[in-house]
Amino acid sequence: MSTQAGLASTLAAEIRAAGGKLKRRLREHGGRNDLTPSQVSVLLRLEKDGAATVSSLARAEGMRPQSMSSVVTPLQELGLVRGAPDPSDGRQTLMSLTAKCVKWMQEGRAARQDWLTTRISQTLTVQEQEKLRSALTLLTRLVED
Amino acid sequence: MSTQAGLASTLAAEIRAAGGKLKRRLREHGGRNDLTPSQVSVLLRLEKDGAATVSSLARAEGMRPQSMSSVVTPLQELGLVRGAPDPSDGRQTLMSLTAKCVKWMQEGRAARQDWLTTRISQTLTVQEQEKLRSALTLLTRLVED
DNA sequence: CTAATATCAGGACAACTGATATAT
DNA sequence: CATATATCAGTTTTCCTGATATTA
């Protein structure tokens, strides 16, 4: 019992510390022209799942629609994402990737410009990447719902 | 080559998404009386490594001394941390845990009050906790200098 | 009328940069 | 004088809450 609690609280502290450092490093390497973590996440989600409304994106990322708006608006201004009114529901605007963005992502230019991706490739072996990835599902379980 | 790049960029996006969700969930469950992730991290570090200056804590956490000040000051006001002038170097103030704080942490009350710790205990088996912990060293390697 | 979507406006927080005082 | 520590003040970023219009 006390061993388990100790393990969990140490793990919690380590997760917090790693999360904080990650956030600061991402900011450090994110110039004015780079996309924020939330924006990258949205592009990936739109690529994987197709068009979605701002509100549904907000639900998926665990944030408020107003917050997601301020994530998506710059993507529209950059011409990476485009909105079209939903013909069957006049309240909704369906957001999707522009052809330019799809091409950009498929060509891997996004990856090459991304500090974290480069960092992963340089620092971890493929085996380690897979290990980290499978452990990430555990972390996702913690933070979801 | 393209498989490796793809794996790395997907992993990067997953890390970003999990980090963002973690941050929002921590904020959501952090009431006015709770400690911030950075503050928990500082307490753990002081417990593990003993007294340290604000600047050295800032270096360890990867942030600026001015930012660390605003993390440590509330801890002082809560009576969890106390500063004493370094007798051998008049520039420095050595911060350390108060007896109250050491007792509080040893009794595990900190852990029981901590949402993330509770969540880990409820959501993951001990084996999964250990797996996540060993994978966290990989993440730490990514975000450390 | 109630519920869901979108958006405008303002606020809180945790990091940042710049500047200054003091001690080595 | 150059370097390191501490702290004051203001800024930026990214989320938040509250309020309002529109459509289902």
User: Mutate which of A7, A49, A109, A140 to test chain B, going by most B C-beta atoms within 10 A?
Assistant: A7
Question: Could you tell me the pLDDT band of residue B4, with boundaries at 50, 70 and 90?
Answer: low
CB contact under 8 A, B129 and A12: no
Residue of chain B whose Cα is closest to the Cα of A48:
B10
Query: To the nearest whole number, what is the mean pLDDT of chain B?
Result: 89
Tokens of A138: 């555990």
Q: Is residue B71 a contact partner of residue B39, using CB atoms and an 8 Å limit?
A: yes
CA A20, distance to chain mean position in Å, is 16
pTM of the full predicted structure? 0.87
Question: Could you tell me the pLDDT band of residue A10, with boundaries at 50, 70 and 90?
Answer: confident
Task: Give B91-114 pLDDT, tens digit per residue.
Answer: 999 999 999 999 988 887 777 878
Question: Could you tell me the pLDDT band of residue B2, with boundaries at 50, 70 and 90?
Answer: very low
Distance CA B87, CA A6 (A): 35
Tokens of A101: 């963005």
Distance CA A94, CA B30 (A): 34
Distance CA B15, CA A136 (A): 7
pLDDT at A81: 96
Helix (H) or strand (E) holding A88: none
> Which nucleotide lies at the shortest CA–C1' distance from B66?
D7
CB-based contact, A111 to chain B, within 8 Å: yes
pLDDT at B1 over 90: no
pLDDT at A138: 95
Query: What's the average model confidence in pLDDT over A96-119?
Result: 88
Assess whether A46 (CB) lies less than 7 A from strand C.
no
pLDDT at A107: 83
Single out the residue of B19, B14, B52, B57 nearest to residue B39, CA to CA.
Answer: B57
Indicate the angle between helix axes B115-123 and B2-29, nearest 10 degrees.
120
Chain B CB contacts of A30 under 8 Å are none
Query: What's the average model confidence in pLDDT over A61-89?
Result: 95
CB contact under 8 A, A142 and B121: no
Q: In A70-103, which positions are buried (b, 16+ CB within 10 angstroms) versus exposed (e)?
A: ebbeebeeeebbbbeeeeeeeebebbebeeebee
pLDDT at A106 over 90: no
More confident residue, B131 or A7: B131
Helix (H) or strand (E) holding A113: none
Those nucleotides of strand D lying less than 7 Å from any protein Cβ are 4-10, 13-19, 22-24
Query: What's the average model confidence in pLDDT over A17-23?
Result: 90
Question: Could you tell me the pLDDT band of residue B5, with boundaries at 50, 70 and 90?
Answer: low
